[in-house]
Structure 1
Amino acid sequence: MAELVETPVVMAGAAWDDYGLIDSGDGRKLERYGPHRFIRPDTQALWRPRLERWASDGEFVPGSDEDGGGRWQFAHPVPQEGWPLAWNEVRFTASCTPFRHLGFFPDMAPVWDWMGEQLEGRGDAATMNLFGYTGVGTLALSRFGPVTHVDASKKSVAQARANAALAGMDDRPVRWIVDDAAKFAAREVRRGKRYDGIILDPPKFGRGPEGEVWRLEEHLPGLIEHCRALLDDDSRFLFLTVYAVRMSSLALAGLLDEVFADLPGRIEHGDLAMREEGEGGRLLPTAIFARWSNPG
């Protein structure tokens, strides 16, 4: 039976060559993405900025509604088609999207490292990335074996393929699937498929390619049950992240504790966060997570 660790864990991301959290405060954050700097809103930056002035190439100004909206305002020219960045061996394109982010989630870097640790020494591990977006996590997993990448957005999957080509990884064994993640996982169960690891990053609300409606609180338990059916005693991990919800990581851990009760290993939960650059850099929380790991 998997052990539930009730004490929360903080998975803190640090700066690397092509990304850094420079400063945060007053509901905003200043970040560097390669040669460019941007300001984006962040309601969890409740403190005051450390720097007196923020110089940036652009700022995302949010709309008046809580659930999104807004637009970019640029102080300097920024390539509309994007520009290349790298995380370890993975190269990909960053760009200013209408959804306030830059085409990838830098706070996932410690998760990519953690997944690699779970699969260390295995060159044939079959993994799946549900809600895989532009594929940086998929490409990080591809060094360990075949990956199934699933996202409902045809545009996101096309960008993921382009990132694979940019990284020189388009010959790696990745299945690129445009589909509703929940429906695809259910079909994989019916096919009798098995995976060594699964990562999923479901939205609060979304729609599949055929208009399927996804509501996190309503549909997540069933999806986790399907993921459990795709794992076994020899599998290594499941990693679940959730953004922008009024929910505790304990709730996610409780769900995994119930569904994974018959498997060995341990269940942990907590916050993802990014640490500001420089001495005394603060931790800016970004998401909650729950994870199951099985060292075997």
Structure 2
Amino acid sequence: MKNRDRRPMRSGPGGSSAGASRPGPRGGKDGAKGSAGKGREERPRSADKRPPRAEAEASSVRVAAESARALMIRTGEPPAERVPLILESPGAGDFHLIDSGEGLKLEQYGPYRIVRPEAQALWPKALPSHVWERADAIFTGDTDEDGMGRWRFPREALGETWPLSLLGIDFLGRFTSFRHVGVFPEQIAHWTWMKERVEEAGRPLKVLNLFGYTGVASLVAASAGAEVTHVDASKKAIGWARENQALSRLDRAPIRWICEDAMKFIQREERRGSRYDIILTDPPKFGRGPNGEVWQLFDHLPLMLDICRELLSPKAVGLVLTAYSIRASFYSIHELMRETMRGKGGIVESGELVIREAGLDGKTPGRALSTSLFSRWVPK
């Protein structure tokens, strides 16, 4: 966008970096998922004894002071809006949600039935107890989204990894200490949308996947014909993604695997004049970059979206934001997205991602389980 279309505003805490990984978290399996990955699963802990909040604030101020990138005040009309939009991800490939209730969910991942905590499953279980008791793996321990725990295998010991397939992509499931298994199936709705846009474009689209975790979204895009840049702060997450690439026989696909803090990466891409047709960003509420950069969702999200706007190509297809485990309405990220995209035209559609129960056979519709908030800008 030309400079006359935007005015600089003083830098704030949004100048911080930490492309936070979703935990080993939604980032690596061991807490290395620092910042640019999906810091939702495992977060590296600080080496010193300062309280996490105080440390995060000190780091945020320090990085903000060093940042030369100011948040822009956008002018022009905000995009049209479509709210609320509920995107339902059905079972696909080797996954479906069998049942939920009483703070738990029972899922099918390939050959395994898995029980994990789910705070939003407030209702009673629909299936009898003997079905739940036949689970192959049960996560126990801290019920916080980013809390550590352990897996219990009531029937027989299982290996750390096992093969899975989703939307034509083969990848490894893995029992991590932060309850996650290497894929977030609620994202099927976004991935299907992206796959269709890439296939119908008639030209190779460039896709940027920020906080990319184990690479399933990147592989879906690449298999459809896109040129993909995948960014995550966790070396182990990147290694896992490369394993998935080999399993999917996409070794020759045009994918750049970048292990770096997400905010640092996109600021450098902006200075380079790089452009992308689709940007997926799936940040954690808190995370750390490979060099200790701190990511705080509420502090840093405005600047991240602001830079992402600058990275959109003239014929961009969409900018997708997903937010997990935050105490906020989807309207908060909806209005932020509309402010960010002022003068850009198009439409901002926001709401929730949900997964519907499908029973033991994967074909019997049940209740819808809300998993996350999202906001998506698309051209009209």
Q: TM-score, normalised by structure 2?
A: 0.75
Matched, 1:141 2:188: no
The residue that corresponds to 2:175 in the other structure is 96
Distance apart, 1:122 and its partner CA: 3.3
The residue that corresponds to 2:184 in the other structure is 105
Is the CA contact (8 Å cut-off) linking 1:6 and 1:250 kept in structure 2?
Answer: no
69, 82, 99: which is aligned to 1:23? 99
Q: For 1:162-204, what per-residue CA distance to the aligned partner results, in whole angstroms no more than 9, with x for missing partners?
A: 1011000111000000000011001000000010010010001
Quick one: percent identity of the two aligned structures? 45
The residue that corresponds to 2:155 in the other structure is 76
The residue that corresponds to 2:253 in the other structure is 172
Cα distance in 2, alignment partners of residues 215 and 137 from structure 1: 23
Cα distance in 2, alignment partners of residues 122 and 286 from structure 1: 33
Matched, 1:126 2:206: yes
The residue that corresponds to 2:4 in the other structure is none
108, 113, 119: which is aligned to 1:32? 108
Is the CA contact (8 Å cut-off) linking 1:237 and 1:291 kept in structure 2?
Answer: yes
The residue that corresponds to 2:342 in the other structure is 261
Is the CA contact (8 Å cut-off) linking 2:82 and 2:347 kept in structure 1?
Answer: no
Superposition pairs of residues 1-296 of structure 1, within 5 angstroms: 1=77, 3-53=79-129, 54=132, 55-63=134-142, 67-119=146-198, 120-142=200-222, 143-278=224-359, 279-295=364-380
Question: In the alignment, residue 375 of structure 2 is paired with which amino acid?
Answer: A
Distance apart, 1:77 and its partner CA: 3.2
Is the CA contact (8 Å cut-off) linking 2:170 and 2:247 kept in structure 1?
Answer: yes
Is the CA contact (8 Å cut-off) linking 2:350 and 2:376 kept in structure 1?
Answer: yes
Question: Which structure dedicates a bigger proportion of its chain to strand?
Answer: 1
Distance apart, 1:6 and its partner CA: 4.9
Cα distance in 2, alignment partners of residues 263 and 122 from structure 1: 23
Which structure has the higher relative contact order (CA within 8 Å, separation 6+)?
2
Cα distance in 2, alignment partners of residues 78 and 95 from structure 1: 14
Q: How many residues align?
A: 295
Cα distance in 2, alignment partners of residues 239 and 183 from structure 1: 19
Q: For 1:212-256, what per-residue CA distance to the aligned partner results, in whole angstroms no more than 9, with x for missing partners?
A: 000000011111011000014410101100110001111111111
Is the CA contact (8 Å cut-off) linking 1:128 and 1:198 kept in structure 2?
Answer: yes
Determine which structure has more spread, i.e. the larger CA radius of gyration. Answer: 2
Q: For 1:77-118, what per-residue CA distance to the aligned partner results, in whole angstroms no more than 9, with x for missing partners?
A: 354341111112211000111110111111111110111233
Is the CA contact (8 Å cut-off) linking 1:10 and 1:272 kept in structure 2?
Answer: yes
Deviates more, 1:153-162 or 1:70-79: 70-79
Unpaired segments of 5 or more residues in structure 2?
A: 1-76
Q: TM-score, normalised by structure 1?
A: 0.96
